[in-house]
Structure 1
Amino acid sequence: MTDSHRRERRTPGKRERLAAAAAEVLHEQGVEKTTLADIAHRAHVPTGNVYYYFKTKNDLVEAAIGTHRQNLSQMTAALDALPTPHERLKALIAGWVEQRETTARFGCPTGTLASELDKRTDGLDTAVADAMRDLIDWAERQFTELGRSDARELAVALIAAYQGISVLTNTLRAPDLMAAEGRRLERWIDSLA
């Protein structure tokens, strides 16, 4: 195998680049303001090539949701490498806090997309709900490992706290709010362990 073939294998293909670019641009601009040209530009793909991979803008939005789910899966897999559920939950919170500047500018990537798609009736609202459900399910497993019989309720409370503080952080453009809520959530996790 030549070096150029090896490089091509490591570099994401156009479809993957378009899906990743769609996730980024939709987060920054929202679904309605984003054009296929915006996404193509971010992916470094000629605009005309987009239609080869995605027939409609909705197809690209669905691919962006898939990218969110894949990123979430990779993140939770990395967190699962930590030895205890207590450490995993606190690392999740720390990750949220690290992203506070981005959240202040654009909100939560999944949450803002879910809010925007909720107003539509094309099925994309349920697709993004699955991404949110994945995170709740992961958190529930952590609370279950902590021996909590109310694991589902605690998982929902944790994700709701994050989504709420994401909205406030974004609306008020105040990343310090995310940091303060992160500290509160860490104390809460400590009190449950």
Structure 2
Amino acid sequence: MTDSKPTKRERLVAAAVQVFHEQGVEKTTLGDIAGAADVPLGNVYYYFKTKNQLVEAAVDAHCAQLHALTSQLDALPDPATRLKSLIAGWVEQRDVAARFGCPFGTLATELDKRDDGLDQAAAKVMRALIDWAESQFTLLGRPDAHDLAIELVAAYQGMSVLTNTLRDPDLMATQGRRLQTWIDTLT
């Protein structure tokens, strides 16, 4: 068995994802990320010349996480089960959402306020989630699959914002149950 210890670069990207979520991009320094990754600050510059490059790597990591998640969900037997499992995963993260918001939604919102193109990179990840949800609704035979996918993702982002703003993880649990019931009405 080989030791698959994460590389310094992988540790830096994972730390960036976490610290950007907890502190926001603007408040985060490269020193914060180096500390969270347990990597000397000078090593950060070896892998990432600018903070924006690290933000891009964090967005790419979110994209990879979404792909891994949807690949796991695709192994489930039917589209309704896949969608409800997606929602269940969101609800499982309710304590994190109550404290910091949606891991990707908060980043996307922050990047949208910038004028450096990173907003479009973030939009790509959100589109991938919408596209995956749309494919599930299409498999359910829904002619309004795109609209339903938008509704699902918007509902999740809304419940994440409210859960975070009100610091109430139960709100996400309640809304998650409502979304799962909604999925049942569409089949």
Category of TM-score, reference length = shorter chain: over 0.9
Corresponding residue for residue 110 of structure 2: 116
Shift of 1:92: 0.3
- What secondary structure, in the 3-state scheme, does the structure 2 residue paired with 1:55 have? coil
Shift of 1:14: 1.1
Corresponding residue for residue 61 of structure 2: 67
Amino acid at match of 1:86: A
When the two structures are superposed, what TM-score results if normalisation uses the length of structure 2?
0.98
Corresponding residue for residue 34 of structure 1: 28
2:49 to 51, 55, 67: 55
In the aligned structure 1, how far is the partner of 2:38 from the partner of 2:66?
Answer: 24
Corresponding residue for residue 95 of structure 1: 89
Shift of 1:41: 1.1
- What secondary structure, in the 3-state scheme, does the structure 2 residue paired with 1:144 have? helix
Amino acid at match of 1:175: P
Shift of 1:178: 0.3
> Identity percentage over the alignment?
69
Shift of 1:12: 1.7
Asked if 1:135 is matched to 2:129, the reply is yes
Asked if 1:20 is matched to 2:10, the reply is no
Asked if 1:184 is matched to 2:175, the reply is no
Shift of 1:160: 0.2
In the aligned structure 1, how far is the partner of 2:149 from the partner of 2:81?
Answer: 15
Deviates most, 13-22 or 90-99: 13-22
In the aligned structure 1, how far is the partner of 2:132 from the partner of 2:18?
Answer: 23
Question: Where do 5+ consecutive residues of structure 2 fail to align?
Answer: none
Shift of 1:63: 0.4
Question: Where do 5+ consecutive residues of structure 1 fail to align?
Answer: none
Map Cα deviations across residues 44-63 of structure 1 (whole Å, 9 max, x no partner): 11111000000000000110
1:166 to 148, 154, 160: 160
Amino acid at match of 2:60: G
Provide the aligned C-alpha RMSD in A. Answer: 0.8
In the aligned structure 2, how far is the partner of 1:44 from the partner of 1:69?
Answer: 24
When the two structures are superposed, what TM-score results if normalisation uses the length of structure 1?
0.95
In the aligned structure 2, how far is the partner of 1:179 from the partner of 1:22?
Answer: 28
Corresponding residue for residue 80 of structure 1: 74
Asked if 1:154 is matched to 2:143, the reply is no
